Amino acid sequence: MGSFLRRTLATWREVRCFRILFMTFVSFLDAAKRGLKEELDVDAEKLGLQLERLLPMHLQQFVYKSIGRMDNEFVELWKVVFDGEITVDGVEVELAEFVPSSVVQQRMAEESSSFTSWFISEMKLLMSASSA
């Protein structure tokens, strides 16, 4: 399997991510719940919140030509309905606000530099899946 990985995966980082994914697998649902807790102080388990998968697992791949790197990540997109107080982790989150997706799309069109390439890609996938 080692030589198979070396032939099929382009960089050491991809091999490392592959090993981490399959050796210490955490479900995407558990990771989404952990993210809610760590970044917004919302404990989905304690509050009995139900998360809904909006996009199934898919590969996000970005090439950063300026630094000669490629980033690969398997992702899923999840939704939770929550009407309560949040506490923003100032280290990981600069601002949290709740706005309709139409406003997000408008802001992306007007201020695309305010959004990460990951976010823009995920929103485009979500919008195309929603209109299908």
43-80: pLDDT as tens digits:
999 999 999 999 999 988 888 888 888 888 888 999 99
What pLDDT is recorded for position 65?
Answer: 85
Q: What is the DSSP letter of 68?
A: T
What pLDDT is recorded for position 11?
Answer: 44
Phi-psi domain of 48 (left: phi exceeds 0; alpha: psi -120 through 50; beta: other): left
Higher pLDDT, residue 106 or 10? 106
pLDDT digit string (tens) for 1-45?
A: 444 444 444 444 454 555 555 555 788 999 999 999 988 899 999
Residue 98 has pLDDT above 90, yes or no: no
For tokens 């309905």, the residue is: 81
What pLDDT is recorded for position 32?
Answer: 92
Helix (H, G, I), strand (E, B) or coil at 79: strand
Helix (H, G, I), strand (E, B) or coil at 31: helix
Q: How far is CA 14 from CA 75, 112, 114, in A?
A: 14, 28, 28
The average pLDDT across 100-126 equals 89
Closest CA to 77 of 53, 94, 44, 45: 53
What pLDDT is recorded for position 10?
Answer: 45
What pLDDT is recorded for position 96?
Answer: 80
